[in-house]
Amino acid sequence: MIRSDIIKELASTIKDTLTVCNIGLPSQEMHMIDDQPSNFYMLGTMGLASSIGLGLALAQKAKVLVIDGDGSVLTNLGTLPTIANNVADNYVLLIIDNGSYGSTGDQPTYAGKLTSLTAVAKACGCENVIECKAEDTVQVVKDALAGDKMTVIVSKCESGNIKVPVITMDPVVIRDRFMKTVAAQNV
């Protein structure tokens, strides 16, 4: 299974969940497969999906899912201690770990070599870290969203990409409809 297979399987489960999508292909795939106002698409700024999601989770009550990648987490590795030390039990970080920088042509990341992001997250103090196979990801995400415990999921999958169109929606439109959805989930 590759990342787009996981996102396809996940789409119906997270339809109404506030979802922060990582830059590049994860956002483009989510947008193509099931565009929802509850999705915040990152059009730039590699690495910050987990931070945006954490800020969002700390600021309001609804559940927040971040769909991140191993390359982006490595770019912003300082995020994991911040997550561990600022527990938000409405926060689920899904790291789709395909061991490569997918959006830029599948160059290998260190997460596909000797570095285990699961071990790194645990060492940073994250209490609830689950590593799973790609095939089990939907169920693990479902359980994490149903629970009330901050969870970091590292889903190990194969690298590879499908053809997807770029997102042409204006960033202010993405932000505005997302914020209206956030507000509606907090009445």
Partner 1 sequence: MSVDDIIIDGFVNNKVEFITTVPCKQLGGVIDAAEKHPDIYHIPSNKEDEGMGLCAGAFMGGKRSAIIMQNTAIGVTINTLVTLTQYYRMPLPMLISYRGELGEPVACQAEMAVHTKALLAQINIPTYHFHRQSDADEFDKILKYTFMCNKPVAILTDASFWGGY
Residues near partner 1 (CB under 8 A): 20, 40, 42-45, 47-60, 76, 78-79, 81-82, 86, 171-172, 174-175, 178-179, 182-183, 186
Q: Least distance in Å: CB of 63 to partner 1? A: 12
Closer of 20 and 30 to partner 1 (Cβ)? 20
Q: Give the nearest distance from C-beta 49 to partner 1 in angstroms.
A: 8
| Smallest distance from partner 1 to CB 172, Å | 5
Q: Which is nearer to partner 1, 3 or 41 (CB)?
A: 41
Q: Where are the alpha helices (DSSP H) in the chain?
A: 3-10, 25-34, 49-59, 70-75, 79-85, 117-123, 137-146, 171-184
Strand-pairing partners, residue 154, are 95, 131
Q: Which is nearer to partner 1, 142 or 180 (CB)?
A: 180
In the complex, least distance from residue 1 CB atom to partner 1, rounded to whole angstroms: 28
| Residue whose token pair is 């190990």 | 156
Residue 172 CA to residue 101 CA, distance in Å, equals 27
Query: In the sheet where 151-156 sits, what is the strand order?
Result: 39-41, 18-21, 64-69, 91-97, 151-156, 129-133
